[in-house]
């Protein structure tokens, strides 16, 4: 059964266990209720039919969002539960997952009404075992709650995670610190594009930062996000 945790007015999150490279990093779905009453599910987790009543009590699930090339594992089941919802993906996802029906791409800056804006992070990539991969990461801004919603562009692991994850975070210099990992630092080759995108993000008014993997940063998130990307870029923003 899904456990919805309120973050702010019209904003919830739900997490599930998730392992990556042998480490428990968790996975988070963010639920946004727009002024229209419609719901956005950003990075759907593994949903069951029994979860629909919980979500439907909040509003009409109208948008399903795969915010990068990695967060699509549970997208198909979510579509089966909500076939009328508009499915949003990123560049390259249709080729990677031809079984998914996508109605729109998040390949340009846009918005979902006055509540929610989104922006692709240009030039942002990661060095993974199979080489450099550009995940076509898209970030979101929930204006009413001053919340920045990320996927894999930054992480924030703390004492709530298993000791193995804590140790890995300490070795990577990211324990209790909001920042990208060394994989993103090495994989983001076009620093000028990354810098331009991050500066656009910093034009948004946000304090809280919500990411797909890690604990939510409730306050001082903008300063931490800035410091993390200054580390990645090797220069002051």
pTM greater than 0.85 (yes/no): yes
* Bridge partner residues of 214 (DSSP): 156
pLDDT of residue 152: 92
User: Is residue 201 within 8 Å of 216, Cβ to Cβ?
Assistant: no
- Strand stretches in the chain, DSSP E: 5-8, 11-16, 19-20, 23-24, 27-33, 38-42, 60-65, 86-89, 104-105, 110-111, 116-120, 126-128, 131-133, 138-142, 147-149, 208-210
As a whole number of Å, the end-to-end CA separation of the chain is: 43
Q: What is the pLDDT of residues 197-221, one digit of tens each?
A: 999 999 999 999 999 999 999 999 9
The pLDDT-based confidence of 112 (bands split at 50, 70, 90) is very high
Domains of the chain with CATH codes? 5-233 (3.60.15.10)
Q: Are strands 86-89 and 104-105 parallel, antiparallel or unpaired?
A: parallel
The rounded Cα 114 to chain-centroid distance in angstroms is 20
Q: Which residues contact 223 (CB under 8 A, 6 or more apart)?
A: none
Average pLDDT, the chain: 94
Residue 126 has pLDDT above 90, yes or no: no
């Amino acid at each position: 059964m899904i456990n919805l945790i309120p973050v702010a007015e019209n904003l919830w999150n739900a997490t599930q266990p998730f392992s990556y490279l042998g480490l428990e990093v968790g996975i988070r779905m963010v639920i946004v209720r727009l002024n229209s009453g419609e719901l956005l599910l950003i990075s759907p987790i593994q949903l069951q039919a029994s979860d629909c009543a919980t979500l439907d009590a909040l509003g009409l699930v109208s948008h399903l969002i795969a915010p990068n090339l990695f967060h699509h594992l549970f997208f198909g089941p979510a579509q089966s539960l909500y076939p009328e919802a508009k499915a949003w993906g990123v560049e390259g996802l249709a080729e990677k997952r031809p079984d998914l029906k996508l109605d729109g791409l998040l390949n340009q800056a846009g918005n979902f009404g006055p509540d929610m804006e989104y922006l692709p992070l240009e030039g942002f990539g990661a060095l993974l075992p199979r080489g450099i991969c550009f995940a076509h990461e898209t970030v979101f801004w929930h204006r009413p709650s001053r919340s920045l919603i990320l996927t894999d562009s930054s992480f924030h692991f703390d004492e709530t995670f298993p000791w193995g994850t804590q140790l890995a975070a300490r070795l990577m210099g990211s324990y209790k610190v909001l920042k990208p990992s060394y994989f993103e630092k090495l994989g983001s080759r076009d620093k000028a594009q990354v810098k331009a995108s991050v500066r656009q993000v910093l034009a948004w008014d946000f304090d809280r930062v919500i990411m797909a993997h890690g604990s939510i940063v409730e306050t001082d998130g903008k300063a931490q996000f800035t410091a993390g990307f200054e580390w990645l870029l090797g220069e002051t923003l």
